[in-house]
Structure 1
């Protein structure tokens, strides 16, 4: 989403920019100017989804701020065929009562005028509603020819109820987006521990994906997976690519991943434009057990994948445990719904604090146990107990 903010109040402009980045608008997609002449130049050459307009503005830098300048800009946007008209125009003011005499003139061109005062939060729900409308509108317009397919893969010890909730949410905005939910039943932890059964499930998913690709030629895919589903999909995906299969994945989202933090993603270089997002829970304690006791798995859904982060490969850290992504629909709405727009932004999140001593020790013990086995874990545990007592 691209936003232009026209406001000569520096403190308010900074407040609004910080709020926009907090809801996922990238810094590079926010343009700020403080006069209508510069704004006119920019909107004649660039498309913006949202225009936030101070109702009282100077025409040029250092000029006197007048409400008539804002009206003149709005009329220019409305009448000129040179302007790339924004999807949404919202007026902002410090005190709505101060503009009562000319508010109706603004609302001829703006959907509404929102009072944004420093030190208050009443304006946030109003602007949030406007930004949500833009996102929904962009999704509803996206690929109405139906060339986007969403795929979901659930984790173990669940029937993947979140898959249906995500489907309902997305198709509520764009019912033409095809959804395919891969299910493999209530996979027991006992089976999860044995590599033979891991391999069996990877092969089954690989065959299912191969059939899916064949049935959807020329389509782009966006994939969501959780827990053991991330392991299944990552390995099946790699094998398909290595077999020469053309798998046009636009975005791959992993959540609560049981993959190792050192997992090799180099094979994805064969998939141009792939965005990989690894959603991590800062208190995902289940993944300690995965790292310590389950062969070929780890806790990338807690620590992130090692290596460089970029706009196309991002670890995002959130507060919560293994199922934080599905405690209600808000996480999916805030973080996954925006991925369905054209050229989605993937803002970085890192809500972690410093690890406390106990958590740090357990994390290191999990890594050592995974490498050297249960006996070493018991030795370290006894040593730690000895130190404490």
Structure 2
């Protein structure tokens, strides 16, 4: 994550910049501080910023008279080694008046600042703002990823061949070449086998053995794991064995059919950070909780545990595969995951849950099915045994 300081007394222009940053999906990758005077900027510049947007005509204090001399004096303070203010890695000047560009551009450039005409009569200059931010982000990503060994482990769900694993890997590759990808594959796993606890666990344990072996063989690397659907169940079985003594940098669970009340301390304690992504309209998980013994919908309603620096539930609009829709740009993983993989960005809390008419009825129905599903499973056995002995 990069730190940006906007020093501008033009509220409308600042709002335009913030809106543009949001529209390009960059909010999760930047931390933006806004102030409207030179003196306020000096207080902020006691901390280091990666990028500063500086109004050419700026008041010394809030509600003061804007003058270019205040901006120039601020720049001189920043670049003066005897002053305590920290110089941003890049400073970009902004002005709405073309004559100000002509009069002060040379002085700004002498102080290593670029000046962009940012008139309120046009929004073309916003593209340059985004280019500046993306340029600094790209530099940060290269610095962080340089000579760092990282392992990306992905585990897909049932009734799929996990094509998203390759897409995710290719997207990360655009930002960092230091990830060694490991795609856990186990072929197409049918729904009937998934519904039978013995068959489901036998398959999961077989893959979990391979997964633990891979993790133990890469303890010296920063390990990142993305598991979807049944893949989260496999990961849970693997880490519950306590055979992996290393540390996972980041674990992302999405579309998990694990029961929301289950204890996942073995996952959370094995990771520096665990994120449980939930699709609030995940009807697949509704069916899993209602009809499949031992399964739930933690990937829809979240795990029943507190959010903390080590764990967070996040709620998104969408269903079971919302995380891998390629038609949306930026894709879900480009927007929400790649910044976590390639920078030091902290996770953003997201909650897009909304109430709807009949929500209580739907929830009650799912719970009732959950209570009676053992009877549904055992009834054929009961009647079959009675028939044989009768």
TM superposition score normalised by structure 2 = 0.82
CA change 1:132–1:360 in 2 (3 A) is farther
Cα distance in structure 2, aligned partners of 1:155 and 1:228: 4
Structure 2 match to 1:158: 160
Cα distance in structure 2, aligned partners of 1:311 and 1:52: 31
Structure 2 match to 1:42: 44
Structure 2 match to 1:373: 373
Residue 5 of structure 1 and its aligned partner are, at CA, apart by: 2.3
| Greater C-alpha Rg | 2
Q: What are the residue-to-residue correspondences of 1:99-114 with 2, within 5 Å? A: 99-102=100-103, 104-105=105-106, 106=108, 109-110=112-113, 113=116
The size of the alignment, in residue pairs, is 369
Q: Greater CA deviation, 326-335 or 104-113?
A: 104-113
CA change 1:314–1:36 in 2 (3 A) is same
Contact 1:147 1:219 in 2 (8 A): yes
CA change 1:269–1:353 in 2 (3 A) is closer
Cα distance in structure 2, aligned partners of 1:315 and 1:121: 37
Residue 166 of structure 1 and its aligned partner are, at CA, apart by: 0.9
Cα distance in structure 1, aligned partners of 2:145 and 2:168: 19
Q: What are the residue-to-residue correspondences of 1:186-265 with 2, within 5 Å? A: 186-239=188-241, 242-243=242-243, 245-265=244-264
Contact 2:144 2:342 in 1 (8 A): yes
Cα distance in structure 2, aligned partners of 1:264 and 1:124: 48
Structure 2 match to 1:115: 118
Cα distance in structure 2, aligned partners of 1:124 and 1:297: 49
Alignment counterpart, residue 138 of structure 1, candidates 130, 137, 140? 140
Residue 167 of structure 1 and its aligned partner are, at CA, apart by: 0.7
Q: What are the residue-to-residue correspondences of 1:202-351 with 2, within 5 Å? A: 202-239=204-241, 242-243=242-243, 245-268=244-267, 270-271=269-270, 274-328=272-326, 330-351=331-352
Residue 265 of structure 1 and its aligned partner are, at CA, apart by: 2.3
CA change 1:198–1:170 in 2 (3 A) is same
The CA deviation string for residues 71-110 of structure 1, in whole angstroms up to 9 with x for no partner, is: 34335445548654434434444x3646442474456734
Cα distance in structure 1, aligned partners of 2:297 and 2:123: 38
Structure 2 match to 1:383: none
Structure 1 match to 2:381: none
TM superposition score normalised by structure 1 = 0.82
